[in-house]
Amino acid sequence: MRDWKLEFASLYDYADMIKTTNPESSCWIKIDKETKPGKNLFVYFYVFFHAFKQGWLEGCRKIIGFNGFFLKGACKGELLIAVGKNGNNQMYPIVWAVVDTETKHSWD
């Protein structure tokens, strides 16, 4: 794996590629440039694939579970995820986000 700072810088390219190659999908990145002038502080990275939404609507029970997991190491934060249950009673990912902290705004 390359330097994590270089990987972080490529998030915008990844988000653009998701939007370009997956019509009706969304991917948002928020960076805070005001708290510490001259530094870009990560706030959140959100990914929603339209195909996952369609798969959930067409093949899953209409139940959504939410959960969050703490990320440890060089890049701290939380992974938030919404999952459904498919016909085989297995978890089906719907949407996920990586956030700096879990707040009401990060779940909106």
> What pLDDT, on a 0 to 100 scale, did the predictor assign at position 108?
55
Q: Is residue 97 a contact partner of residue 46, using CB atoms and an 8 Å limit?
A: yes
Q: Is 6 helix (H, G, I), strand (E, B) or coil?
A: helix
How confident is the model at residue 81, as a pLDDT? 93
- Residue 21, pLDDT score: 94
Residue with tokens 């997991």: 69
3-state secondary structure at position 15: helix
Looking at the whole model, is its pTM more than 0.85?
no
Question: What is the per-residue pLDDT for 7?
Answer: 76
Q: What parts of the chain have a pLDDT lower than 50?
A: 1
Confidence (pLDDT) at 105: 60
